[in-house]
Amino acid sequence: MRTPGLLWIAAPLWYVLCEAIAASAFPGYSYATFYISDLGVPEIGDFQGRSLDSPLHAVMNAGFLGTGLLFFLGLALLTRTLPRGLATGALVVLGAVHTVGISLVGLVPGSMANLANGLIRFHAIGAIAAIAGGNLAAIVSARPLRRLGRWRFVGPILGGLGLVCGVLLSLHVGFPDGVWERGAVYPFMAWQLLTGIALWRLESATNPVDGPEIATLRS
């Protein structure tokens, strides 16, 4: 359980680190008014009312790809220890949807060139898949991760928050889009981090009678 936990701790930390580094080099970048993926656009120019200039675009795209890879590797290792059932299957499928989605965001930037050639549709599909898949995965995780005790309820709470912000982002109401987008993305990242810490703290032992792995949180 420690390796999946470590991977899930590393994934969101890698993401926010890459975002912060890329944002630091972007003149006038605002977390409130710019999209996260604006940091991954390699071109300089005005796009949909935003002035884009991200010298470290490769760092942000590495953030998208790296966090997706770390998350899915952790999920693949974790799945082997989870009880079989519909909820576990849903967690794996939704986790895969998130991974494919966030990888598309990194591979196909939301740029002027991709708008012109039509590839931006894949960026949009990827963003929706990453947000919806990630937050839904957090929501359905409570049953497969019941060994975490009360910590398993963090997933439904944060996942629900992320989905609500995702809907508000699509409606473009109230706060600027950058606020709603981060409200849709960061809860999933926070769930990964908190769940990763909980998994890291798990102490596993083999039940000599029943055989399956029994895990309990360290006090």
Does the residue 214 lie in any domain?
no
The pLDDT, as a whole number, for residue 208 is 36
Residue 121 lies in a domain: yes
Task: Kindly report the CATH number assigned to the domain that includes residue 174.
Answer: 1.20.1070
Give the SS3 label for residue 213. strand
Amino acid 111 reads S
User: What was the pLDDT predicted at 203?
Assistant: 53
On whether residue 208 sits in a domain, the answer given is: no
The answer to whether 66 and 24 have CB atoms below 8 angstroms apart is: no
Distance CA 213, CA 207 (A): 6
- Is 218 a domain residue? no
Is the CB of residue 163 less than 8 Å from the CB of residue 136? yes
**Which of these ranges, 53-62, 97-106, 155-164, 201-210, has the smallest mean pLDDT?**
201-210
The answer to the question of residue 9 being in a domain is: yes
What is the pLDDT of the chain when averaged over all its residues? 92
User: pLDDT-derived band of residue 44, with 50, 70 and 90 as boundaries?
Assistant: very high
DSSP class per residue in 48-82: TTEEE--TTHHHHHHHHHHHHHHHHHHHHHHHTTS
What's the domain count of the chain? 1
Rounded to two decimals, what is the model's pTM?
0.89
Residue 101 structural domain: 1-203
- Which of the two residues, 210 and 43, has the higher pLDDT score? 43
Instruction: Evaluate whether residue 211 is within a structural domain.
Output: no
Report the b/e string of 152-168 with b at 16+ CB within 10 A: bebbbebbebbbebbeb
Residue 209 placed within a domain? no
Alpha-carbon distance 29 to 47, whole Å? Answer: 14
Distance CA 134, CA 159 (A): 8
Does a structural domain hold residue 212?
no
115-146 as b/e, with b when 16 or more CB fall inside 10 Å?
Answer: eeeebbeebeebbbbbbbbbbbbbbbbbbbbe
